[in-house]
Structure formats: structure tokens, C-alpha cells
Homo-oligomer: A and B are copies of this chain.
């Protein structure tokens, strides 16, 4: 097993931020300052073109740490953040920008590229989880959740499909083409976000992916607005979802 090495530590707003690597993959672990006791862990996946410490990640972590006392970890996806891009990454990104410039659909390229990244990232997430569970403040038998939208869903759905330690997940905003087959293997409670006026993902595509999950308990949150207009209150809703399923009280701030 690859062990976890901490490479940096800082703290602010009641939250400790520790950079780490596992098998060369860089990640970040956010924890409560006063957190000697074991607490549940939420793994997160960042969006395409972003990285582990994007404000969407640190903002969600702040909510989970502050409101629930959970640990939160994100790793950079292949070709993202502090990780080098391969020639294949560069080609796919160029293809995406070309499609965007030409006003052509981005979906086919994003679906294909994200599926490739997920093939690489799923074992990295599993190795990271192994290493995180070796930490005394997390432990091998505590509850684990997963939260990822957009590319975080493209990686998270295949991850959750094969990873029995993850028992609740928040997904959203991706196409069903590759993921629906994986989603059929998922039976844990999920919350799923979909934008009703998404310029990239049609309503039918979004509903098809939601429909594919075999989970007995699943919730779909649709909001009016375009792809990037997911309302901030959905982050609060996700925090409450994890509080319900992983245990822990939500304080008023959430």
C-alpha cells in the first residue's frame, strides 16, 4: 500500500489544511482544528479544468468541516492542478477548445476525455482512501462519502460503482453515455444536481443518468439556470445530505 506523506500544513477559520501525496498523486485533506476524535470522511472530485483547491472545493470543505466536523479530501485529477499534462491531455483540451470556438457540441469530447481520466483516477482515489483510512483520525471503519459534480461525477460514478466503502454520494451535471451503465451498479443513497437550462447537457440526458442509479433512496435537484449557474444552496443541501447519511449534526451555519 502506498502510504500518505504530508507535505504542508496551515489552518484558518477553524479548519486545518494539509497537503499530501499518495503514490505521487497530490491531494489535500481538510479537517476540524479540534479534531483528535475520529470523524467521517468525504472524498470530493473537482471539475474539469479545475484543481483540488479550487474555491468550489475549499468552500464545500469549509461547510463540511464547520457544520459537521467531517474530514474532507480531494486529489488532483490526471492532467489537472499540480500534475503534468500528457500529450493526450493537450490533444483533448485542444479538441474541446476547437469545438467550443466552432460552436459545436462539447459533450462528445468531454464524455470521451473524462472517461479516460476516470480510468486513471479511480485506482488513485482507492489508493488515497486506503492511505487516509490508515490515519488515526479517520480509521478503517468510519463512514465515507463522495461528492463530485461535472468531471467529479465522471470520476465518481465509476469509483462508487466499485468501492463499497463509500456509502453516500452527491453527483450531477454529466452525460449518461458512459456513466449510466456504471450507475446501474450503484445502490447507495444519492443526491443528484441537474440544471434545467443547461446549454451542454439536455434535460433528457440528465434525467436518463439520474434514472439509471439503482439506489432505493435517490433525490434529484433540478434548478432553473445554465450549466455554470448551480445555486449555492445546493452545496448546503449536499452538506445536510452527508450529515444525514454519514452521521453528525448540522449546525446553524449550514
Contacts and interface: CB of A to CB of B under 8 A. Distances in A.
As for how many copies of this chain the complex holds, the number is 2
Interface stretch (A22-30, A69-77, A158-166, A236-244): A236-244
Nearest to A210: B222
A68 to B, nearest CB: 12
Contact of A237 (B210, B215, B237): B237
8 contacts: A217-B224, A218-B224, A219-B222, A221-B221, A221-B222, A249-B252, A250-B252, A252-B252
A220 interface: yes
A223 interface: yes
Contacts of A222: 210, 219-222
Contacts of A218: 196, 223-224
Contacts of A236: 240
Interface in A39-68: none
